[in-house]
Amino acid sequence: MTSDVLSSKELSKIDPVFGQLSFDNHEQIVFCNDKDTGLKAIIGIHNTVLGPALGGTRMWNYNNEWEALNDVLRLSRGMTFKSAITGLNLGGGKAVIIGDAKTQKTPELMRKFGEFVHSLSGKYITAEDVGMTTEDMDTVREVTPYVTGISESKGGAGNPSPITAYGVFMGMKAAAQFKYGSDVLEDKTIFVQGIGHVGEALVEHLTNEGAKVTIADINQERLEEVRSKYDVTIYGGQDIYSERMDIYAPCALGATINDDTIYKLNADIIAGAANNQLADEVKHGKLLKDRNILYAPDFLINAGGIINVYAELENYDRQEIMRKTENIFNTTLEILDRAKANDVTTNSAALSIAKERIETRKREQGK
Ligand SMILES: NC(=O)c1ccc[n+]([C@@H]2O[C@H](COP(=O)([O-])OP(=O)(O)OC[C@H]3O[C@@H](n4cnc5c(N)ncnc54)[C@H](O)[C@@H]3O)[C@@H](O)[C@H]2O)c1
């Protein structure tokens, strides 16, 4: 509760929503509450110029509501630029459900959440994110058509994570091509942090190519499970950020590149699936550039998932999904070249292309 974090005197100094640091002219923020199911959720709709705001739902045990709000604001903004740069006619949105997905997620809660999504009449379309499964989306589908990422058996495109991982793999290869002059990852030392749905699928691509992969996760069981399947090493040290590596692949939560980690990082390339990897995209983007660490922008290379769920709306097939996702290689190289030519950070080069597309559409719409 707010009162646990701030005294009423302090509270008056902070505007709770529009005054948040992560607020970036979001169009709509919806707070959802249901006493019976215990649902507490926030839906963030950042921008709908290019189309309905599509983005997954994350269920996470946030320490407080500020954290949840901050997360949904950052994530929904990221979706706007992800879809824009990928050339999809979608806006940016995202939802967070406050709670422990392992113990508090019930079909009733998911259906109630679906009713809130439905009340927005398609302005926001949901999908899965951390703490969600394809089956949860099937449950949401019982009460609203405004959901993607549903099972193939129910007419959906299925779990987007393997496609996301393939896109990240393509983006990583493009970054290697740019940095080393070859996209071959064989013998490269790669740390994959977070071996969930996307991380594991990425590990599969990397080990198939002969990369030297080290995995890290807070879940010990997952570590053992993934080690039993692939030729990987489990990270046994104390501080992953101080280790020498060729490529750092953040595939857990965001903001791992921050004031505490950035000066320790000893990698040539950062390329991973996590959303919002840079705690502060301007400051940390610049520091990475100064330190000659090549950052493959997250919203550019982790777009495979959205390409996959977009197929459900546009009715394109698996082949087209793979073609679009493979194209992340070319787009990434273009962005890296552009950043170099203009002497700007890779994040800002990607962002400016995405923003250009939105502005052009706005002009076409006469707005
Ligand atoms: N699933 C998709 O298609 C998709 C698409 C785009 C972006 N992403 C992003 O990729 C990331 C991973 O998504 P996912 O679907 O694999 O989620 P997931 O929940 O399946 O996996 C996340 C993994 O990270 C681990 N983890 C959490 N905190 C950690 C920490 N501090 N250190 C190490 N490991 C930690 C968890 O134990 C878990 O194994 C998320 O940031 C998500 O937003 C996912």
Over residues 118-138, the pLDDT tens digits come to: 999 999 999 999 999 999 999
Helices (H), 263-317: 281-290, 298-301, 304-314
For range 213-219, the mean pLDDT: 97
Give the mutation target among 251, 258, 276, 299 for probing the ligand 1 site: most ligand atoms within 8 A of CB. Answer: 251
Specify the pLDDT at position 14. Answer: 74
- The ligand 1 atom at the shortest distance from the C-alpha of residue 253 is 41
Q: Could you read off the pLDDT of 157-189 as tens digits, one per residue?
A: 888 899 999 999 999 999 999 999 999 999 999
Return mean pLDDT, the chain: 94
Could you tell me what percentage of the chain is helix, strand and coil, using 3-state DSSP and rounding each to the nearest 5?
A: 45, 15, 40
Specify the pLDDT at position 158. Answer: 84
The answer for 91, left when phi > 0, alpha when psi is -120 to 50, beta otherwise, is: beta
Residue 161 beta carbon below 6 angstroms from any ligand 1 atom: yes
Residue 272 beta carbon below 6 angstroms from any ligand 1 atom: no
Residue 216 beta carbon below 6 angstroms from any ligand 1 atom: yes
Does pLDDT of 3 surpass 60?
no
- Residue keyed to tokens 């071996």: 195
CA angle at 287 for the pair 46 and 83, rounded to the nearest 5°: 25
CA of 343 to the centre of ligand 1 (A): 32
For range 247-265, the mean pLDDT: 96
- Torsions phi, psi of 42, nearest 5? -130, 130
Does pLDDT of 264 surpass 80?
yes
Return the SS3 of 278.
Answer: strand
Which of 161, 150, 145 is CA-nearest to residue 194?
Answer: 161
Does pLDDT of 101 surpass 60?
yes
Specify the pLDDT at position 2. Answer: 44
- Torsions phi, psi of 294, nearest 5? -80, 120
Q: What is the DSSP letter of 147?
A: B
Which of 109, 144, 3 is CA-nearest to residue 64?
Answer: 3
CA of 105 to the centre of ligand 1 (A): 18
What are the residue numbers of the active site? Answer: 94
Residue 312 beta carbon below 6 angstroms from any ligand 1 atom: no
Specify the pLDDT at position 159. Answer: 86
Residue 219 beta carbon below 6 angstroms from any ligand 1 atom: yes
Residue 171 beta carbon below 6 angstroms from any ligand 1 atom: no
Query: Which of 78-87, 222-231, 265-274, 310-319 is predicted least confidently?
Result: 310-319
Q: Could you read off the pLDDT of 336-355 as tens digits, one per residue?
A: 999 999 999 999 999 999 99
Does pLDDT of 9 surpass 70?
no
CA of 251 to the centre of ligand 1 (A): 5
- Looking at ligand 1, which residue's alpha carbon is closest to its atom 41? 274
